[in-house]
Structures are given as structure tokens and as C-alpha cells.
């Protein structure tokens, strides 16, 4: 194959638009679950007066539980055998419980102690993340196995991320909605009402891929226990689980993707915790209502830019390959972060919007490319181990992301305290505090992104190699190794 040639996608490897749409709605639900919680947690500090360090612990501990349960859910999903498939039953049930718990966890009322809010929210958050894991891990694995084609995987991830990006048109306005004096008596009441609407959408939207998508299941060879007709005991499953985790962590191409995603995504998450504070207290001197409008427009413009970026990234990837496209897009996003140095201007706050097209290349390309690259790694792993383990790879991938989110959430509160921020001072924050807020907002993402670029430079699975792996796998297991579930 010459450098200018690419393998064509066979008709049978293409995913229909309705199936892509169903999976995309599932991704919209997935994005909403992650983004809504992060957007609303500021109410615990500014609405209920909780110490930022306590809020950091509230963000860290449930996510730590979430990260621990992800690999377990991946193993369970990979080894489930039912008439509805390996993934769809968990997606269906997880969506319902995640939506219900999210609506309930924000039903908080003023007048209680910090310790009361801490333990109520901690307990509810842990149950929410367990339900979220039950939904998200099988959902991600479903996307990895829907097509064996190198480019169609990118198209699926691009399409689903484009649909999922719609969540970020609304999420940036959550702050303005909760603080709207026309709608609510206060932000705490706003959070209670908003959470009910979000919870309903999570439950209904999350059921869509479970109902309408089909599973493409690889019929793996039976082990000795299955051949004898016996069921594996708890000990056997536990042994297999830890063995699978160990094998996954030894897969070098996969670990490189995990490191890059860990750095880029959690760099954005950690820095984004400081962005509202910069807007409120540096750009607007404590005027929360005016800052809320800028937050909404910043998020909306950023989302619109991301809508444009995702199809562009998908197209460029089919021409240059996934790795080269990643290196280019993350470099562009670094430029956008550095522009904030000049665009954080109290005299012209809306200059910040000029950074949006550049920054959009970061998150806009990250999960489009990384999701497709992990799917390629699943083929690479099957060639090495003889097993299909999309659930395990998807869970470990997100385990790494969530571990980073745990660290980020924990660090955020302490870094915020380190700036000298005092909620009681309102718009009278010290100059040093305002400077450090901007430094953390900009530098964290830039440093993390540069390290991520170096991590991906040595990723070896090209289009040609992926095609060779597929041919070897099909030669080994034959077309009879593929069955469809859930029709």
C-alpha cells in the first residue's frame, strides 16, 4: 500500500445512520451525566457555603469508588451471556438508576450543617457513580465492537461525539439557570429543579442504545470449564478478573493512549474548575449574574466550534491517520490555551471567546480519535490473547480517566485554598489570588497536553497494521466467529 492509498470500507462494515444516531444519543446521555455534575457542584460552595476542600473530597471519593468498579463492570459485561447480549441489559438498567439517583441527590435545602450536606451528598454520589458505571462501561464497549473497519470506527466515534457535544450547548448555561432570579428564589432551589429535568433525560436517553443498537459479538473459544458445562465459581471469576487486568496493563499501545487521555482530559477538567472563578472574580469583580452570562456564551461558542471540529477531525484522520491527527489537534488546542493570557481582559471580557475555536480542537478530537484507537487495540489484543475484551479495555481506559478526575477533584479544592480565595470576600479577592487563578487555569492544560503529545509519538498501530491484524484475525477465527445479538 502506497502512502497515498487507503483501504476502502466494505459495505458490510458500515454502520447505518439510524444505528449511529441511537449510539450518539447514548453518548449524549453519557456526556450529560459527567458534565452536569461538574457544572452544578459549584452550588455546594457558593449556594450552601461548603469549604472548597470538603467539596474536593466529595468529588474525589465517589470517583475513586467509580474507578474501582469500572474494571469489575468491564469483566462482568465481557463475560455475560444472555439473549439480549453482553452490553444492552446493563445499559438499560444503568440509565434508569443513574437518572433517578441524579435527580434525588440534589434535593438539598438550606439550613443544615456542612457535615450534613457532606454525608448526604457523599452517599448519594457513590450510588450515582455505581449506576453510571453500570451504564457507561458496557456502552463504551458496545461502540468498540460495532464495526471492524479502521475508518468506520473513527466515523462512528466522530458521529457519536458530535451528537454528544449537544450536551455542552446546555451545560454551560446551568450556572445562569440556577442563579436566575426570574425562575427561582435562589441557586439551591434552581439546582433542585434542574436536577429533576437532567435525571429524566438521563433515564430516557440512556435507554435508546439499549433498545435500538445491535451487538456484534465475537464467539471466543470455550475454556475447559465452559466445555464441561460447569459454571465458574466466584474464585475462578476473581482469578480471571485480576488476570485480565494484568494483561491489559501490559498492552503498551493501550497504556500510551491511557496516558495521553489521562493528561489531556484531566488537564482540562482540573483547569476548568478555575475558569468560573476567573470569570466571576477577575473579569467581573464578583458580579455572578454577569459572569454567568459569559460562562454560558463561552460554553455555547466552544460547543459550536467543537461541532465544526469533530467532522473535520474525522475527515483529516482518514487522510493522515489517527496519530498524526491527534498530534496536530492537541498542538492547536495548546495555542488556544496560551491565548487566554491576552484574552482574560476585564475591560473586554468577551475577548475570551476568541480562544474557543482553538481550544475546541483538544476535547473535540480527543475522544473521537482515542475511542477509535482503543477499538484498534482490541483487535491487537485479540491477536495476542485470543479473547475479545472490549469491556475490560473500555473500563480500564475510563478507570485511568476517572482516577485522574479523582486526583483533579481532590487537588482542586486545595489549590483553590492555596490561591487565598475566600468566598466571604466576594469581589474583594487579593491580587495574588486573581493572578494564581489565571496561572492554574492556563498552565495546567498546556503542560499536560505537551506530555500527552510525547506519549502518543511512539504509538505503532497505523492503518496498514490495523488492516493486517484484521486479516490475521479473520483467518484465525473465520466469519463464523461473528454473531449478532439483540435483534
pLDDT of residue 63: 78
More confident site: 218 or 174:
174
List the grid coordinates of 67: 474507578
Is the per-residue pLDDT at 486 higher than 60?
Answer: no
- pLDDT tens by residue, 363-389: 889 888 998 999 999 999 988 888 888
Mean pLDDT across the stretch 419-444? 86
- The residues, ordered by sequence, that sit 6+ positions from 128 with a Cβ below 8 Å of its Cβ are 37, 62, 98, 101, 102, 105
Residue 432 included in any domain: yes
Residue 227 included in any domain: no
Is the per-residue pLDDT at 485 higher than 90?
Answer: no
pLDDT of residue 481: 53
Residue 201 included in any domain: yes
More confident site: 454 or 37:
454
- pLDDT tens by residue, 262-303: 899 888 888 888 888 899 889 988 888 888 888 888 888 888
Residue 231 included in any domain: no
Confidence band for 223, pLDDT divided at 50, 70 and 90: low
Q: What percent of the chain has pLDDT over 70?
A: 91
Total-model pTM: 0.76
Domain with 254 in it: what CATH number? 1.20.1250.20
- Under 8 Å between Cβ of 393 and 378: yes
Domain count of the fold of the chain: 1
Residue 2 included in any domain: no
- pLDDT tens by residue, 95-117: 999 999 999 999 988 888 889 98
pLDDT of residue 234: 54
More confident site: 48 or 338:
338
Residue 208 included in any domain: yes
- Under 8 Å between Cβ of 436 and 420: yes
Residue 486 included in any domain: no
Residue 467 included in any domain: yes
Query: Sign of dihedral through CA atoms 397, 401, 404, 409?
Result: negative
Q: State which residues form the domain around 451.
A: 15-218+250-479
Amino acid at each position: 500500500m502506497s502512502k497515498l492509498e487507503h483501504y476502502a470500507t466494505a459495505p458490510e462494515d458500515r454502520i447505518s445512520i439510524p444505528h449511529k444516531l441511537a449510539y450518539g444519543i447514548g453518548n449524549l446521555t453519557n456526556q450529560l451525566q459527567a458534565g452536569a455534575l461538574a457544572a452544578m457542584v459549584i452550588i455546594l460552595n457558593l449556594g450552601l457555603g461548603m469549604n472548597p476542600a470538603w467539596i474536593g473530597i466529595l468529588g474525589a471519593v465517589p470517583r475513586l469508588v467509580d474507578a474501582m468498579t469500572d474494571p469489575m463492570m468491564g469483566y462482568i459485561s465481557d463475560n455475560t451471556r444472555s439473549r439480549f447480549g453482553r452490553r444492552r441489559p446493563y445499559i438499560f438498567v444503568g440509565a434508569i438508576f443513574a437518572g433517578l439517583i441524579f435527580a434525588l441527590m440534589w434535593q438539598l435545602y438550606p439550613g443544615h450543617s456542612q457535615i450534613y450536606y457532606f454525608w448526604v451528598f457523599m452517599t448519594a454520589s457513590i450510588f450515582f457513580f455505581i449506576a453510571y458505571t453500570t451504564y457507561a462501561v458496557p456502552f463504551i464497549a458496545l461502540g468498540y465492537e460495532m464495526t471492524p473497519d479502521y475508518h468506520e470506527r473513527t466515523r462512528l466515534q466522530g458521529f457519536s461525539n458530535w451528537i454528544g457535544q449537544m450536551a455542552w450547548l446546555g451545560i454551560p448555561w446551568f450556572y445562569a439557570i440556577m442563579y436566575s432570579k426570574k425562575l427561582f428564589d435562589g441557586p439551591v432551589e434552581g439546582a433542585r429543579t434542574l436536577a429533576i429535568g437532567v435525571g429524566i433525560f438521563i433515564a430516557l436517553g440512556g435507554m435508546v442504545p439499549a433498545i435500538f443498537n445491535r451487538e456484534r459479538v465475537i464467539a471466543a473459544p470455550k475454556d475447559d470449564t465452559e466445555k464441561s458445562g460447569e459454571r465458574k465459581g466466584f474464585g475462578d471469576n476473581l482469578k480471571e478478573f485480576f488476570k485480565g487486568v494484568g494483561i491489559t496493563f501490559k498492552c503498551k499501545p493501550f497504556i500510551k493512549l491511557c496516558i495521553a487521555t489521562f493528561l489531556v482530559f484531566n488537564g482540562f477538567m482540573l483547569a476548568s474548575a478555575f475558569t468560573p472563578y476567573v470569570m466571576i472574580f477577575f473579569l467581573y469583580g464578583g458580579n455572578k449574574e454577569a459572569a454567568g452570562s459569559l460562562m454560558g456564551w463561552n460554553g455555547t461558542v466552544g460547543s459550536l466550534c467543537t461541532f465544526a471540529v469533530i467532522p473535520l477531525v474525522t475527515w483529516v484522520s482518514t487522510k493522515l491517520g489517527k496519530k498524526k491527527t491527534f498530534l496536530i489537534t492537541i498542538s492547536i488546542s495548546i495555542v488556544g490555551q496560551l491565548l487566554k493570557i491576552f484574552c482574560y481582559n476585564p475591560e473586554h471580557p468577551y475577548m475570551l471567546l476568541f480562544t474557543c475555536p482553538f481550544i475546541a480542537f483538544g476535547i473535540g478530537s480527543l475522544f473521537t480519535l482515542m475511542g477509535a484507537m482503543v477499538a484498534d487495540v482490541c483487535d491487537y489484543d485479540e491477536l495476542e490473547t485470543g479473547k475479545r475484551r472490549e469491556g475490560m479495555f473500555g473500563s480500564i481506559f475510563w478507570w485511568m480517566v476517572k482516577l485522574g478526575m479523582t486526583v483533579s477533584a481532590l487537588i482542586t479544592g486545595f489549590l483553590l485554598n492555596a490561591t487565598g480565595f475566600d468566598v466571604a470576600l466576594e469581589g474583594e479577592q487579593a491580587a495574588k489570588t486573581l493572578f494564581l487563578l489565571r496561572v492554574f487555569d492556563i498552565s495546567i492544560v498546556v503542560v499536560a497536553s505537551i506530555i500527552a503529545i510525547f506519549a502518543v509519538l511512539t504509538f505503532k498501530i497505523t492503518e496498514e497494521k490495523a488492516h493486517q491484524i484484521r486479516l490475521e484475525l479473520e483467518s484465525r477465527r473465520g466469519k463464523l466467529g461473528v454473531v449478532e445479538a439483540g435483534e
